[in-house]
Amino acid sequence: MNLLRRVVRALAAAAVITVFSSCPYNEPLRGEMQLAAELVFAHSWEELCDLIDGTPAGGSVIISVQGTLEVNGSTQNIKNKEITLISFSSTGKIIRGSGIYAFFDIDEGGVLILGHEHSRGTLVLDGEGSSILIEITPSHSGACVMNKGVILRNSPTAAVDIYADGLGVFGSFTMNGGTITEGGTGVIVAGSLGGTTLFTMNGGTITKNKRGVSVENKDSGSAAAFIMNGGTIKDNTADTGTIGCGVSVLAATGAAAVFTMNSGTISGNTADYGGGVGVVVSSGATAVFAMKGGTIKDNTAEFNGGGVCVHSDGEFVKTGGTIYGSNGGVNSNKAGSSTGSGHAAYVFDGPKSRDTSAGPGVKLDSGTTDNWGQ
């Protein structure tokens, strides 16, 4: 667990957290949005890219997307500047054109803010069946913040891909509102070669994807974390053979992947194993699901673990929250009708899972049928 403690310290001390300490908007005055940075308008993808490139290092700009912008050419890089995209009064769309892999790549010192709570329009980023919408692949640190009034959809790989590659590299995504839908994985949180990544979900909805969130690490010394403080992950349907549809936590040798659920809801997701949450780990790695609050309900597993499924040496620590079992009525999690086990939770051959909150009769094995935490 020394690696896990280092991860926690790194996340707490990361300098990138200071990025979120100031809002690009002043409080609304007399019912109107008062902007702390310059507001400009983009009517085409080329104009949007010019406005981003023309913002000086260390500067910031607020860009209203007007009408439909078709992405052509190369991915737009955001480095050492803060870019806010909104739709000022109606619906602004950015859609995939041709010859593009990702819409935006956030690099060292770059911050991309999508939407604002006082924005009056809807901002839509649509991959149209191809592309990653937002990549956070910093050489040092990079961040993206998503607020209400934003829809990310139709991206078969991931709507947001956070990939920190290298020792000391830190990438983060914060979701305060909006919707991620109709794609492959909603958010991928992955570290490599010593990098650290963080996804914080405070609100919003991730729905109708093949997987909600994937927290994964494959290289020694890297770490990925997902903290759920609110919001909903619901109605995602995984491909055959998948472990964990709402949230999957995957770690390979020497790496750490951690999912902490403080609040929020995971519901209506379907996978072969772990409809709500799945945890898988290789020997020598750390994969943890720490449930401190929130609700896991109405998920389905074709085989084992309707609510939660833990494989091998994965660790599941429950100190709060509710996981419904077969007695939950309309809220019940369900494991396979004939061969499945563990409606609320199923733990395979790893003895590391424990509960300190539930009432009598709760079991961490195939016999779990109780409403866990009720």
Q: What does the block give as tokens for 304?
A: 């084992």
In a domain, 358, yes or no: yes
Based on the structure, what is the number of domains in the chain?
Answer: 2
Domain termination site, one of 156, 174, 197: 156
Whether residue 172 lies inside any domain: the answer is no
Which of helix, strand or coil describes residue 167? coil
In angstroms, what CA-CA distances link 52 with 69, 111, 147, 171, 242?
15, 11, 20, 20, 39
Which residue is it, tokens 């990098």? Answer: 195
pLDDT of residue 365: 39
Note the pLDDT of residue 339: 57
Residues 140 and 224 in one domain: no
Domain shared by 209 and 137, yes or no:
no
Question: Model-level pTM?
Answer: 0.86
pLDDT of residue 119: 79
Residues 200, 263, single domain; the answer is yes
Range of the domain at 80: 1-156
- End residue of a domain, out of 156, 171, 200: 156
- Torsion, Cα 144 149 150 151, to 10 degrees, reads 150
pLDDT of residue 15: 29
Question: Does the residue 162 lie in any domain?
Answer: no
- CB within 8 A of 46, min separation 6: which ones? none
d(Cα 332, Cα 179) in Å, to the nearest integer?
Answer: 25
**How far is C-alpha 11 from the geometric centre of its chain's CA atoms?**
16
Establish if 264 belongs to a structural domain: yes
124 within domain boundaries: yes
Strand 122-126, strand 185-192: pairing: unpaired
- Phi/psi at 146 (nearest 5 deg)? -120, 125
- Which residue among 156, 177, 194 closes a domain? 156
Domain match, 122 and 203 both? no
pLDDT mean by block of 10 residues, the chain; 374 residues: 42 32 31 62 96 97 95 91 92 87 92 88 92 86 95 95 81 97 96 86 98 88 92 96 94 87 98 94 85 94 90 83 76 71 74 46 38 46
Q: Which residue is listed with tokens 């709060």? A: 320
HEC string for 330-361:
HHCCECCCCCCECCCEEECCCCCCEECCCCCC
Has residue 339 been placed in a domain?
A: yes
Burial readout 331-361 (b: 16 or more C-beta within 10 A, e: otherwise):
bbbbbbeeebbbbbbbbbebebbebeebeee
* Residue in 234, 232, 294, 231 with CA at minimum distance from that of residue 261: 294
Residue with tokens 């991309």: 112
Do 142 and 200 fall within a single domain?
no
Identify whether 166 is part of a domain.
no
| Statement to judge: residues 96 and 230 lie in one domain | no
How confident is the model at residue 330, as a pLDDT? 67
Tokens of 170: 């830190």
Residues 148 and 190 in one domain: no
Predicted pLDDT at 363: 38
What local confidence, expressed as pLDDT, does residue 27 receive? 32
